Amino acid sequence: METHRPHFLDLPFSFLFSPRAPFSFPASTTHRPFFFFSSSMAPVTRRTSFPRVIIERDSDSEQSSSEEEEEAPEEEEEDNDDGVTTENGKTQKLEAGSDPNRKGKSPITISLKKVCKVCKKPGHEAGFKGATYIDCPMKPCFLCKKPGHTTLTCPHRVSTEHGVIPAPHRKASKPLEYVFERQLRPAIPTIKPKYMIPDQVHCAVIRYHSRRVTCLEFHPTKNNILLSGDKKGQLGVWDFGKIHEKVVYGNIHSCILNNMRFVPSNDCMVYSASSDGTLSCTDLETGISSSSINLNPDGWQGPNTWKMLYGMDINFEKGLVLVADNFGFLHLVDMRSNHKTGDAILIHKKGSKVVGLHCNPIQPEILLSCGNDHFARLWDVRRIEAGSSLFNLEHKRVVNSAYFSPISGSKILTTSQDNRLRIWDSIFGNMDTPSREIVHSHDFNRHLTPFKAEWDPKDPSESLAVVGRYISENYNGAALHPIDFIDISTGQLVAEVMDPNITTITPVNKLHPRDDILASGSSRSLFIWKPKEKSAPVVEKDESKIVVCGRAEKKRGKKGGDDSDGSDDERFISKPKKSKSKKTEWKLSQCTTKGKH
């Protein structure tokens, strides 16, 4: 292997020691050569006082691991004194002392032996080998977060029934639970329907949004309309029945659009909560919006005072929009006046983000909230005040989402950043511990939209949920991140759907309220999935390419496949790229024709 010579060795030493030398060691570098620390160092003449430099190369990359392991302990100790990890991930060992002019100094030896890029220790390497990711064995399992094994050997590795941690069985003891078992439970079918899994991309808009997608919402009555929000605050309205009919409204919010809800009495109107601190109500026909709340009327006064709106839901019976901010407060908006009503109520730890709100579908005054204080909390909106929660559901990390089951409203499903889905089978029963925990890879990553497990609103047994997977799997040579369908009553993985052309992670997923359709947002693109037999594959790549894709079984390449937009695949039809200015024009022209659907 051709070794990479550290770039600073190519520089003349005088330049190297200049205080204005235009480079620095990476911030992550923990061990620096002694000479970089001596700020008070006297000027040096390179010929007389600088030690000789010896480069020790890892010439044989096939060197046996046992050999490396034997050497490792010694190297580690020496590393503490004078080792350097360079940007190319190789260890350089600097030995001082062989210069005859300087007593006690040996020559600087630079070792280019490979080290693990995760823990910086030699003897193993972490990272992608082709499409398979090799974990660093020094770290806890990436999936279940427990030490002693890696993801590859994790007992919770997503397959069937391995991820479930059942709560200890408890007998029904509370009167409410008794009532539930007698009256409500019989209404929930125990025999599960045959799931129709939307597992094939039916149509898509590639690079529809200019930033990553943050939320999705199906139109309550028009079956082919999908709303999407993005990190920039833009709101997309796409008629996926007529693939080319799509609008992006860019003037509603100025940053992240966190949540959307249709107004139940008027399905042209949609409320949206944004990190710009406003709750807006937008007419989808005209694109005209009005702010119901603006929490930052005085503009930017610094990050400590800037308020953002996250969780949001509508209580139609009371005519209320409930929206929560990043300081732990709940705000109420009267839909008739479109103005704030009452004072903000502290519902989560002061100063923590409240990322999710959900009104119970049967009893809308029962509110479920979740947030960064590691709790999901149940409230009665009729008597809500700070500290008045009915139940506090503890989690080990941030709770990305908490939803009541869509039909009976008696179950709760939460997604937490500790890589676990939690299910409470009955809000009338024991709420101290979840009924089940399902280990599932949906890690937090600051560059991704947080994962949220979503119920299938059509499943009468209330046991099917969909959630994107963070961790990748090697599928015929491509590292893909599937979307998982999980039977939350057993923890079983019902289906994992993926497409070789979707190489990005898909954290945002929503199942259609009436049809066997899954909408997913991955990076800046939207996908509509249907069950295989119903699919007629058509994909549009926004104004730069028209592509057609289906469920191909073969794809060769390294991690994530290649990024060539599949130009090696004859199902892709390329169109010449248009300029950025035309892109804007296109969006504007689409906005003027929005009244059609």
Partner DNA sequence: AGCTGATGACCCC
Partner DNA sequence: TGGGGTCCCTCAGC
Total residues binding DNA (CB under 7 A): 40
Instruction: Name the one range near DNA by CB under 7 A: 127-135, 162-170, 264-272, 508-516.
Output: 127-135
Instruction: Name the one range near DNA by CB under 7 A: 99-107, 239-247, 360-368, 471-479.
Output: 471-479
Regarding 444 and contact with DNA (CB under 7 A), the answer is yes
CA separation, residue 405 to residues 262, 263, 412, 460, 461 (Å): 19, 20, 6, 10, 10
* H helices present in 390-509, as ranges: none
- String marking each residue 57-96 x if it binds DNA according to CB under 7 A: ------------------------------xx--------
Q: Which long-range contacts (CB under 8 A, 24 or more apart) does 403-407 make?
A: 403/356, 403/358, 403/368, 403/453, 403/454, 403/455, 404/358, 404/360, 404/361, 404/366, 404/368, 405/361, 405/455, 405/462, 406/361, 406/455, 406/456, 406/457, 406/462, 407/188, 407/361, 407/457, 407/460, 407/462
Residue 28 or residue 173: which is nearer to DNA going by CB? 28
For residue 324, the cross-strand partners are: 330
CB of 578 to DNA, least distance (A): 13
The binder of DNA chosen from 471, 478, 483, 526 (CB under 7 A): 471
The binder of DNA chosen from 446, 576, 579, 581 (CB under 7 A): 446
The tokens for 69 are 């392991």
CA angle 151, 156, 158 (to 5 degrees): 85
Nearest to 479 by CA among 131, 152, 128: 131
Regarding 357 and contact with DNA (CB under 7 A), the answer is no
The binder of DNA chosen from 93, 124, 353, 452 (CB under 7 A): 353
Tell me which amino acid residue 523 is. Answer: S
Residue 359 or residue 502: which is nearer to DNA going by CB? 502
Residue 103 or residue 446: which is nearer to DNA going by CB? 446
Residue 333 or residue 505: which is nearer to DNA going by CB? 505
Regarding 479 and contact with DNA (CB under 7 A), the answer is yes
Instruction: Name the one range near DNA by CB under 7 A: 176-184, 285-293, 338-346, 464-472.
Output: 464-472
CB of 421 to DNA, least distance (A): 16
Nearest to 488 by CA among 134, 17, 163: 163
Nearest to 110 by CA among 6, 1, 2: 6
CA separation, residue 248 to residues 232, 278, 583 (Å): 11, 19, 12
CB of 585 to DNA, least distance (A): 17
Residue 434 or residue 561: which is nearer to DNA going by CB? 561
The tokens for 286 are 């005209």
Instruction: Name the one range near DNA by CB under 7 A: 233-241, 446-454, 491-499, 585-593.
Output: 446-454
Instruction: Name the one range near DNA by CB under 7 A: 8-16, 171-179, 261-269, 522-530.
Output: 522-530
Residue 434 CA neighbour count, 13 Å, CB half: 25
Regarding 149 and contact with DNA (CB under 7 A), the answer is no
In whole angstroms, what is the distance from residue 215 CA to residue 224 CA?
A: 17
Instruction: Name the one range near DNA by CB under 7 A: 102-110, 467-475, 534-542, 548-556.
Output: 467-475
In whole angstroms, what is the distance from residue 106 CA to residue 91 CA?
A: 18
Contact 96, 71 (CB under 8 A): no
Residue 123 or residue 557: which is nearer to DNA going by CB? 557
Site residues for DNA per CB under 7 A: 27-28, 30, 87-88, 118, 128, 133, 135, 139, 142, 151, 207, 212, 304, 353, 372, 374, 397-398, 417, 444-448, 470-472, 479, 481, 503-505, 522-525, 560, 563
